[in-house]
Structure 1
Amino acid sequence: MKPAEELRKQPCYIVAIETSCDETSVAVVEDGTKVRSNIVSSQIETHRKFGGVVPEVASRKHVETITWIIEEALREARVSPAELSAVAVTHGPGLVGSLLVGMVAAKALATALELPLIGVHHIAGHIYANRLVGELEYPLVALVVSGGHTEIVHVQEEGRFRILGLTRDDAVGEAFDKVARALQLPYPGGPHIDRLAHEAKESITLPRAWLEPGSYDFSFSGLKSAVLAVLNQAKMKGEALDPAHVARGFQESVIDVLVEKAVRAVRETGARQLLLAGGVAANRGLRTELAGRCAEEGIPLVIPPFEYCTDNAAMIGAAAYLKYTRGQFSSFDMKAEPLLSLEEWSV
């Protein structure tokens, strides 16, 4: 394996692997910012019949697809194995079985090509997906919203993370899916809730969970229970309740809290940018409301395009570049860490 100083003198092509949940993805990223390829194989159709991700099924699907996706990513990137600079892989957080498939593939590839291995935190990847579309200015605040995470992260300088607030129960994406299931909408529920909310002319008034004064934490379990209570009351009374009105009320409640706390975090930390990150960043209602509020407050907002919101390997390659330039490589006995800490992963 070549020393870090020599590696930094060469063009940097990182092949990145992401298998933290139910997307199998491999990308080739040049110098941490240019996406040469980003292949994503989704398992949504497989898991839809179960109403959610089945971990054992997800792992098997990763095994079936990982080899040809690596080959396809290299082919599309027009980068030969000999030109690669490093191999990056998500090693947490996520489903342990899914993580292991990607890690075994990454270790095998790095060993065969005698390349350094870089373990990447999944949420760091989501945050640095924004680096694929523009320059980041520090300090900044990132609002991370996905199926498994809801966090406000303060990034004082490149690669240094401090969590200001996080969910105390359901992640926002999980709450969307549970409410969608209550409304008998297909899995995944988030896009369907978003669509209905935009179509609705009225909304059901639902509570906002602000928690203690000054808190940056979130809680969505009470809101989910409030939705179920509204649906049950309507059913007991024999009243027809428009699902779109419920969807809009639910989405408005979620967005109000997310936007208000994110904007307050920017003001109170003196951040120069606000980043939106994670799968729920694809939600049109959230993107629109956050953009409008940031325009009013004079806060520069960075939102990645839809293809970099959901799980993908390009974001892992972008975050891995932080470690690559510092020569911070992972050992080959690195383990999958389903509860990996973002703050501990900091460069």
Structure 2
Amino acid sequence: MICLGVETSCDETALALVQDGRLVCEKMASQERLHAVFGGVVPELASREHLRKGVLLYRALLKESGIAPADIGCVAVARGPGLLGSLLVGMNLAKGLSLGLNARLVGVNHLHAHLMAASLEREIPFPALGLLISGGHTHLYLIRSHIEFELLGRTLDDAAGEALDKAAKMVNLPYPGGKFVDQLGRLGVADESLFPRPLTGVPGLDFSFSGLKTSVARYVSQHPGLRLESLPGEDVSQLAAMPGLADFCASINWTVADTLRIKTQRALTAHGRVRSLIVAGGVAANSVIRRVMLELCGKFGVEPVFPSMTLCTDNAAMIANLGWMLFRDGYCHGQDLEAIPRGRVVPFDYHA
């Protein structure tokens, strides 16, 4: 059975086809350059771009894959969490396609899709501990199957990805800044005592990164020489010679990674029966976080599960994949399916 996935939760417009758990084709339009001018995602512009690109990508997807519309059995759509305007554009496209193709509609939790993305490439041993790290979310889950997610801990304010992006913005690195902090940090030496690891001195599995952002802002204000006079291009390696900048990036990168390690280690200690650790989301592409989590898996004897780099960022393949699994198990939605913005819990309200 073929499932069409639609992803418009933030600033990536993407559509993909998955057949029986195998990715057939995906088409994506990035808005990175559009929002780079503003140093962050502008919701209204994101919605307009989704509206402009959605149908074009659908036509290109069918043409490239050779799949006939009549062969599509279900349409899966990211229903949330995300930017409400962006979600609504994707929701309306998915509902229209569902009616036009006479295919069933399946709403997908965007966060759960991230955690299950690696199943497109390999089997995931369950039960698993899931660490979801992105620009908007930092969550820990106990995952018993592709439909059983127990939230263990979450960010109380800012997410890990936001802390990295804002740190980059403070020194005028390009948008999105997290990947440039990682690139430049590889060329420096981390000072492990430079920044605090927030909320690690108290018990529990919740995260907080707002205090870290404040600490970074204070440090940059005291060291104005770290700020770039002009934005560099995509290649930031030439900035390694700038006094203190690479070490600053290495230090903030290490602090975020070690904060995640401390909380994940607590979860593994409390739930030692898990067989694997899934690390997913856009920030899962960070090299330091990957290394730290691999070491943690070795320490606890659990299998590391990392999606490939292309499956870490927002994509439609993960939406189609989880949508296909849900539909295969008999779950679907009606045309009254609602979009769920960030800050609200996505309900498990499927029809049998």
Give the structure-1-normalised TM-score: 0.91
Kindly indicate whether the alpha-carbon contact (under 8 Å) linking 2:74 and 2:106 is maintained by their aligned counterparts in 1.
yes
State the distance in 1 between where 2:141 and 2:64 align.
34
Give yes or no for contact 1:227–1:246 (8 Å, CA) kept in 2: no
Distance 1:75 1:345 in 2: 34
Out of 125, 145, 148, the residue aligned to residue 136 of structure 2 is 148
Return the letter of the residue paired with 1:51.
Answer: G
- Report the counterpart of residue 86 of structure 1 in structure 2: 74
Which residue matches 1:8? none
Within-5 A mapping of 1:195-214 = 195-203=183-191, 205-211=194-200, 213-214=202-203
Does the Cα contact within 8 Å between 2:200 and 2:262 map onto a contact in 1? no
The counterpart of 1:228, out of the listed 197, 217, 226, is 217
What's the offset of the Cα at 1:78? 2.3
* Structure 2: runs of 5 or more not aligned: 226-241
How far off is 1:75 after superposition?
Answer: 2.4
Mapped pair 1:63 → 2:51: yes
Q: 1:189: which partner in 2?
A: 177
Q: Does the 8 Å contact 1:27/1:37 carry over to 2?
A: yes
Aligned counterpart for 2:270 among listed residues 263, 268, 271: 268
| 2:15 is the counterpart of 1:15 | no
Deviations 1:22-79 (A, max 9, x none): 0000000111x21001211100000000000000000111111101111122223221
Q: How many angstroms apart in 1 are the aligned matches of 2:329 and 2:74?
A: 13
Percent identical pairs in the alignment equals: 38
Mark the CA change 1:343 to 1:218 in structure 2 (over 3 Å): closer, same or farther: farther
SS of match in other structure, 1:288: helix
How far, CA to CA, are the matches of 2:101 and 2:317 in structure 1? Answer: 20
Question: 1:161, 1:342 within 8 Å by CA — same for their partners in 2?
Answer: no
Partner of 1:341 in structure 2?
Answer: 345
Query: In the TM superposition, what are the counterparts of 1:278-297 in structure 2 within 5 Å?
Result: 278-297=281-300
Higher mean alpha-carbon deviation, 50-59 vs 213-222, is at 213-222
Q: CA deviation at 1:101?
A: 0.8
What is the distance in 2 between the residues matched to 1:147 and 1:43? 15
Pairing 1:1-347 to 2, within 5 Å after superposition: 12-31=1-20, 33-203=21-191, 205-211=194-200, 213-235=202-224, 242-269=244-271, 270-339=273-342, 340-342=344-346, 344=348
8 Å Cα contact 1:121-1:345 kept in structure 2: no
Q: Distance in 1 between matches of 2:263 and 2:65?
A: 40
Equivalenced residues, count: 332
Assess, with a 3 A threshold, how the Cα gap between structure 1 residues 114 and 344 changes in structure 2: closer, same or farther: closer
Q: Which consecutive unaligned segments of at least 5 residues does structure 1 have?
A: 1-11
CA RMSD of aligned residues (A): 1.8
**Contact 1:276–1:302 (8 Å) recurs in 2:** yes
Secondary structure of the corresponding residue to residue 203 of structure 2: coil
Alpha carbons of structure 1 residues 343 and 281: separation in structure 2 relative to 1, 3 Å: farther
Taking structure 2 as the reference length, the TM-score comes to 0.90
Q: Is the 8 A contact 1:234 1:241 kept in 2?
A: no
Tell me what 2:237 maps to: none
- Partner SS, residue 85 of structure 1: strand
Q: What letter is aligned with 1:278?
A: G
Quick check: 1:86–1:117 contact (8 Å CA) kept in 2? yes
Q: Name the aligned partner's letter for residue 319 of structure 1.
A: L
Code of the aligned partner of 1:341: V
Q: What's the CA shift for 1:241?
A: 5.5
Greater CA deviation, 172-181 or 288-297? Answer: 288-297
SS in 2 for 1:199: coil
Distance 2:167 2:214 in 1: 9
CA distance in 2, matches of 1:258, 1:54: 28
Deviation at 1:297, TM superposition (A): 2.6
- Pick closer, same or farther for the CA change 1:175–1:22 going to 2, 3 Å: same
Deviation per CA, 1:259-280, whole angstroms, max 9, x where unpaired?
2222331232121110011000
Question: Partners in 2 of 1:80 and 1:113 — Cα distance?
Answer: 10
Are 1:152 and 1:166, in contact at CA under 8 Å, matched by a contact in 2? Answer: yes
- 1:94 shift after superposition: 0.5
The answer to whether the 8 A contact 1:35-1:314 is kept is yes
Q: Which moved more, 1:272-281 or 1:295-304?
A: 295-304
